[in-house]
Structure 1
Amino acid sequence: MNQGGITALAMTKGEKGWFGGVIALAVVLFLLLLSSCGDDCDDAASAPDATVTVTAAPSPAGSQIGKSVDSAVEQARQAGLSVGIHDASDRDEAPRGDWTVCFEKATLSDVVFAAVPDEAPCPKKDGQRIPWPAMPNVKGTTYAKAVEKLGDAVGEVAVEAAYEDEAADDTNNKNGDYANWKVCFQSVKAGTALPYEPDVTLHAVKNGEVCPSAKGLYKEPTNDPDYVDPDYVAPDDGSSEDDGSSSGGSGSGEEDYTPGDKGGCPPGGCYNPCPPGGCR
């Protein structure tokens, strides 16, 4: 047992000696390498570290549909894209910054936006007519229902009396004093396109009343300043009677007329024609 342990210890010392020789050889080789490097080693040591710059590729602009033209153009240019803009409708107008993007076509280098005026609906396809909502027919409905039916398609919805001798004045009030008044006339004809939410005036009558046949009439005809009583007879002032003053008293004065040598009629006319031989 002891002899085996001594042998193992001796082998360990031998291995240590072998490794020591290897290390010594490596040191010698390193020194030789340094001595043969010369000035090149100094240049390499003094050279600055190389810097690698990584430029990120521009990120995609993303879809700009529904955004304003100004915002869409800014996003596209930040992404490094060339930008084109045109009218999305059939009117071929020059787009403005507050228009809304409806369509876009993009490539790796450019993008083209098609837009419509702010608050205008987009056409179904690029270059088609803008599908403005049409004015509904609200005649016969109450003012409150008309306001609700028109909704966001128009601007203000005012009510006025259909008769000249009645009064009504309100705007967009479904719960006001005129909520149950019946609409007789509307300022915008039913079926008319409603671009840019026009204001609408409705002429109405009280609940239960009959609409006039036309605007400008009076519920009570006698309230009309131009009303004339059909039974009225103008008094006779006698100016139409003939007092004979226009006759000149004794006649027309034709008795004093003396025909010339050639005859002829007196100024009052030929009431007594001359015979064929002439007037003597």
Structure 2
Amino acid sequence: MHRPPAPSHPSPDPAAPRNRWWSTIRARIGFLLAVPVLGLISPYLGFAVMVVAIVLVWNDGSWRKGVKVTATVAAFALFGSVAPDRPAGGTQGTAARPDGKAAGGAGTMGIPARTSPSPSPTAKPRPAAKDYRGMSLDDAREAAEAAGFGVDEHDASDEDKSIMMRLNWTVCFQRTGWTSSGTKTIDFGAVKKGAPCPREDGGAIPWPRMPDLVWKTWKTAHKEVTALGTVPADHIMASAAYVNDQLPDKGEYDDWRVCVTDPAKGRDVTVAMWVTLELTHPDNGCPHPDGQDGDRPRLPDRDDDGDPDYHDPFPGDRHRDSTFPDGPQGGSGGSSDGDGGGGWNCPRTRWC
């Protein structure tokens, strides 16, 4: 019995597996090439496609490990070529805009980070405060504390003294601010009452200098020292420039002349210091600055009775001077009327 021939099957094509592998590779490569294209459209979309492509590559067992690594690097490079640039220096954070607002920096992988809808914090303005300069430190503190300020104080000069008795200090500078807890503060820079304020906080006090007063009258010199503003009128003293001279009663030496000042000309005249003006009668000159042989200067006194010749009515008689012009109060001898009262040196005096 004749069997019919078995149906013939076509022999497998040896090139078919290779074609399928090549088609898969082209699909993966096309997928990777889509990353930069989609990245130009939207960074988010490009990033998502890149991640999917990398996952497919690493899950495909037909790819060698070296090829997978190369494809992954290529995907990152392609996406990086179209990703938005990072801020200068590659740092993240905030950058100033022309309008003064802060802009968000780039996030991971160059993806723009979300910006906060609330504006960035800015420094608080200085709290408004009354001008307390010129007030006593004690009064300024009390008023500032009543206005809600936390108060601090310091010596405004370069002497950096501790402040005692605030009533005797005057405010020169004030600086306001805020604490970290939101309390407004004020810091006073002060100097001793009567002292001039420094040109800047922490600077030297510009004390007035003693003027040149030599040969000016007491009345004129007294006014000039008082006008300096640091010395009370009752802190200016007068004395005789010569050791054997004596000032007349107050008000009678207004036209006497200044010979020496303490402090000397050009020295600082500080607050509440004592100033001495040494005077001489206008009939006399001032003593030599170096004195006489190192001794205190003396006016001529021929009879050596302690009464300078310029006002001694009897410059050649030591028994009579300006205090007792008719002779000394004591002596010996009898009375001219013989009453036995004796004891007076009577010749040429009014007592005999």
Q: TM-score range by the shorter chain?
A: 0.5 to 0.7
Answer yes or no: is the 8 Å Cα contact 1:165–1:223 preserved in 2.
Answer: no
- Determine if the alignment matches structure 1 residue 65 to structure 2 residue 144: no
Aligned residue in 2 for 1:143? 218
- Determine if the alignment matches structure 1 residue 193 to structure 2 residue 268: yes
Give 1:164 deviation, angstroms. 2.7
Question: Deviations along 1:224-248, whole A, 9 cap, x unmatched?
Answer: 88xxxxxxxxxxxxxxxxxxxxxxx
- Determine if the alignment matches structure 1 residue 119 to structure 2 residue 194: yes
Question: Deviations along 1:158-177, whole A, 9 cap, x unmatched?
Answer: 22222233210566xxxx21
C-alpha change, 1:169 and 1:195, in structure 2 (3 Å) is: farther
Aligned residue in 2 for 1:207? 282
Runs of 5+ in structure 1 lacking a partner?
Answer: 1-58, 226-280
Output the CA distance in 2 between the equivalents of 1:197 and 1:169: 27
C-alpha change, 1:127 and 1:169, in structure 2 (3 Å) is: farther
TM-score of the two chains, using structure 2 as the length reference: 0.43
Counterpart selection for 1:101 from 157, 167, 171: 171
Question: Deviations along 1:177-217, whole A, 9 cap, x unmatched?
Answer: 11111111222211111112322222222123222223432
Output the CA distance in 2 between the equivalents of 1:160 and 1:194: 19
Aligned residue in 1 for 2:236? 157
**AA partner of residue 210 (structure 2):** M
Output the CA distance in 2 between the equivalents of 1:118 and 1:167: 36
SS of 1:105's partner is strand
C-alpha change, 1:157 and 1:77, in structure 2 (3 Å) is: closer
Output the CA distance in 1 between the equivalents of 2:277 and 2:286: 12
C-alpha change, 1:219 and 1:199, in structure 2 (3 Å) is: farther
Aligned residue in 2 for 1:77? 145
Answer yes or no: is the 8 Å Cα contact 1:77–1:83 preserved in 2.
Answer: yes
Output the CA distance in 1 between the equivalents of 2:305 and 2:280: 18
Answer yes or no: is the 8 Å Cα contact 1:160–1:170 preserved in 2.
Answer: no
Counterpart selection for 1:168 from 231, 242, 247: 247
Answer yes or no: is the 8 Å Cα contact 1:60–1:79 preserved in 2.
Answer: no
SS of 1:85's partner is strand
**AA partner of residue 273 (structure 2):** P
**AA partner of residue 66 (structure 1):** G
- Determine if the alignment matches structure 1 residue 178 to structure 2 residue 246: no
Q: How many residues align?
A: 163
SS of 1:150's partner is helix
Identity %: 34
Answer yes or no: is the 8 Å Cα contact 1:134–1:191 preserved in 2.
Answer: yes
SS of 1:74's partner is helix
Answer yes or no: is the 8 Å Cα contact 1:142–1:180 preserved in 2.
Answer: yes
C-alpha change, 1:121 and 1:140, in structure 2 (3 Å) is: same
Question: Deviations along 1:31-71, whole A, 9 cap, x unmatched?
Answer: xxxxxxxxxxxxxxxxxxxxxxxxxxxx9651111111121
**AA partner of residue 157 (structure 1):** I
Aligned residue in 1 for 2:300? 219
Question: Deviations along 1:66-125, whole A, 9 cap, x unmatched?
Answer: 111121111121122111111110011122312111011113611111111111110010
Q: What is the 5 A alignment of 1:127-138?
A: 127-138=202-213
Runs of 5+ in structure 2 lacking a partner?
Answer: 1-126, 179-183, 307-352
Q: What is the 5 A alignment of 1:197-276?
A: 197-213=272-288, 214=291, 215-220=296-301, 222-223=303-304
> Structure 1 segments of 4 or more deviating over 4 A?
none
Counterpart selection for 1:110 from 185, 188, 191: 185
TM-score of the two chains, using structure 1 as the length reference: 0.53
C-alpha change, 1:198 and 1:169, in structure 2 (3 Å) is: farther
